[in-house]
């Protein structure tokens, strides 16, 4: 019996949402697959501390950058009983494919391989969601030579080669309204709120992701999208599945509504594909959204060197530009339209990750 395991993390949504997307795609192909979220195997107290850390990081970008610099292996947070139960589940398969989105899984994988490789055929495929080594991988650059690295885009090679399929067509730029989406990634990190101090609202309608009720400004005509309070990536729904984060939608003059999914995608993706630009820090999942939807990225201050590299790749390929550069142009929509066409061309030449994985492991 053969099984695929997508190993993600709820630390941000940058590995979680792509893993859920890939699970849907692989399931539709008839493959036996499940998504596992690292924090599921934390001690309960460690999960609570993570929720508190999330609040602190959202409230202070300076604190967020400091916390990233001192990040280390989190093995002490694990619940050993939960890990043993996980290993018992995995060792029941004849062949298991571990598709790894977060480097924080490596110590667990190494332990499993060491204990069970004599009785289970184990294939490990690493998926890099950034153009260089991200924070979770910086501790694990020297992996077992048996683990296969897969780069979706790579600054060193200056190329975009693979993507994780989204079942939506690209909306032509001329059919989009003068709207932009502003956010700070899955945890609301960065300088995205500072963009409101510019004159951008004079040129575009603003759709902004809010992370706490206090983020919503009542005196500005902005459409807000807030992750539903209480939802966590490591909790499954009543059917035992991991879900996209539900979004509370609050538009000017309308009552709030809740959206759970958009035609097989995260609900916020509907706004991504209708926008003329994404304004955000250049995280891996954000540039993936940019690619899928052919929506240019106007990037803000980075959160770590790997995001600097993401931004540099997008800038070099003509797929994005910095917020100060775009502001200096008077928020020129013509620049966005050209980047949209560049993204459409690059997207047409990418291969699907599922094809890459099945070529390797089937």
pLDDT: is 274 or 72 the higher one? 274
**Could you tell me if 297 and 278 are in contact, meaning their C-beta atoms sit under 8 angstroms apart?**
yes
pLDDT at 129 over 50: yes
What is the model's pLDDT at position 358? 72
Each residue of 331-340: pLDDT tens digit? 999 999 999 9
What is the model's pLDDT at position 184? 83
Across the range 47-64, mean pLDDT stands at 55
The whole-angstrom separation of Cα 47 and Cα 29 is 34
Across the range 310-319, mean pLDDT stands at 97
Residue 362 pLDDT grade (very low, low, confident, very high; cuts 50, 70, 90): very low
The whole-angstrom separation of Cα 206 and Cα 248 is 16
Listed range (132-146, 184-198, 199-213) with the worst mean pLDDT: 184-198
Across the range 154-163, mean pLDDT stands at 93
Across the range 162-173, mean pLDDT stands at 90
What is the model's pLDDT at position 360? 45
pLDDT at 142 over 80: no
121 three-state secondary structure: strand
What predicted TM-score, i.e. pTM, was given to this entire model?
0.89
**Could you tell me if 319 and 343 are in contact, meaning their C-beta atoms sit under 8 angstroms apart?**
yes
pLDDT at 361 over 50: no
**Could you tell me if 93 and 2 are in contact, meaning their C-beta atoms sit under 8 angstroms apart?**
yes
Q: 167: exposed, middle or buried (C-beta count within 10 Å: 0-12, 13-18, 19+)?
A: exposed
What is the model's pLDDT at position 56? 52
Q: CB within 8 A of 15, min separation 6: which ones?
A: 8, 9, 101, 102, 129, 136, 285
pLDDT at 44 over 80: no
Q: 105: exposed, middle or buried (C-beta count within 10 Å: 0-12, 13-18, 19+)?
A: buried
| Tokens 């990418």, located at residue | 350
pLDDT at 53 over 90: no
Q: CB within 8 A of 169, min separation 6: which ones?
A: none
Q: What is the dihedral of CA 18, 20, 26, 27, to 10 degrees?
A: -170
The whole-angstrom separation of Cα 82 and Cα 71 is 23
What is the model's pLDDT at position 1? 77
pLDDT at 12 over 50: yes
The DSSP 8-state label assigned to residue 59 in this structure reads H
Residue 99 pLDDT grade (very low, low, confident, very high; cuts 50, 70, 90): very high
Q: Which two tokens stand for residue 239?
A: 């059917």
The whole-angstrom separation of Cα 333 and Cα 309 is 25
Chain mean pLDDT for the chain: 87
Each residue of 214-261: pLDDT tens digit? 777 766 678 999 888 888 888 898 888 899 999 999 887 778 898 888
Rounded alpha-carbon distances, angstroms, from residue 347 to 28, 152, 287? 22, 12, 12
Q: Which two tokens stand for residue 314?
A: 């997008």
Across the range 30-38, mean pLDDT stands at 92
Helix (H) or strand (E) holding 280: strand 277-280
What is the model's pLDDT at position 10? 84
Most confident of 60-64, 134-138, 246-250, 292-296: 292-296
**Could you tell me if 143 and 320 are in contact, meaning their C-beta atoms sit under 8 angstroms apart?**
no
Across the range 305-330, mean pLDDT stands at 96
CB neighbours of residue 340 within 10 Å = 25
The whole-angstrom separation of Cα 264 and Cα 209 is 20
Q: Which residues pair with 125 in a beta bridge?
A: 99, 148
Q: CB within 8 A of 224, min separation 6: which ones?
A: 207, 208, 209, 210, 215, 216, 249, 250, 251
Residue 51 pLDDT grade (very low, low, confident, very high; cuts 50, 70, 90): low
318 three-state secondary structure: coil
What is the model's pLDDT at position 115? 95
Across the range 265-276, mean pLDDT stands at 94
The DSSP 8-state label assigned to residue 295 in this structure reads -
What is the model's pLDDT at position 122? 96
φ/ψ (deg, to 5) at 150: -130, 115
Closest listed residue to residue 5, CA positions, set 26, 17, 14, 13 = 26
Across the range 95-100, mean pLDDT stands at 96
Across the range 264-285, mean pLDDT stands at 93
What is the model's pLDDT at position 52? 61
């Amino acid at each position: 019996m053969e099984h695929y395991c997508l190993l993600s993390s709820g630390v941000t949504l940058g590995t979680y949402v792509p893993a859920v997307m890939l699970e849907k795609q692989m399931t539709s192909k008839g493959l036996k697959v499940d998504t596992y979220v690292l924090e599921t195997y934390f001690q309960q107290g460690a999960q609570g501390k993570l929720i508190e850390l999330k609040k602190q990081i959202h409230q202070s970008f300076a604190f967020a950058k400091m916390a990233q610099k001192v990040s280390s292996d989190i093995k002490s947070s694990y619940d050993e009983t939960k890990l043993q139960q996980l290993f018992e589940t995995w060792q029941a398969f004849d062949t298991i494919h571990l598709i790894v989105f977060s480097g924080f899984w490596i110590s667990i994988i190494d332990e499993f391989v060491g204990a069970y490789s004599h009785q289970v055929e184990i294939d490990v495929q690493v998926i890099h969601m950034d153009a260089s080594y991200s924070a979770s991988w910086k501790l694990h650059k020297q992996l077992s030579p048996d683990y296969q690295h897969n780069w979706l885009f790579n600054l060193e090679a200056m190329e975009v080669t693979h993507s994780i399929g989204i079942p939506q067509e690209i909306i032509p730029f001329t059919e989009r309204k003068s709207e932009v989406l502003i956010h700070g990634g899955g945890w609301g990190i960065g300088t995205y709120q500072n963009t409101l101090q510019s004159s951008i609202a004079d040129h575009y309608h603003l759709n902004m992701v809010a992370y706490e009720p206090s983020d919503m400004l009542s005196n500005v005509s902005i459409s807000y999208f807030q992750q539903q309070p209480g939802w966590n990536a490591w909790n499954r729904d009543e059917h035992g599945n991991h879900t996209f984060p539900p979004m509370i939608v609050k538009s000017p003059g309308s009552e709030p509504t809740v959206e759970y999914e958009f035609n097989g995608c995260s609900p916020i993706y509907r706004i991504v594909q209708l926008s003329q630009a994404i304004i955000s820090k250049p995280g891996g999942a954000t540039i993936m959204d940019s690619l899928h939807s052919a929506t240019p990225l106007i990037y803000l201050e980075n959160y770590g060197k790997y995001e600097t590299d993401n931004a540099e790749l997008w800038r070099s390929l003509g797929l994005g530009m910095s917020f100060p550069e775009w502001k200096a142009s008077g928020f020129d929509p013509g620049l966005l339209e050209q980047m949209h066409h560049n993204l459409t061309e690059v997207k047409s030449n990418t291969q699907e990750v599922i094809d890459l994985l099945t070529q390797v492991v089937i």
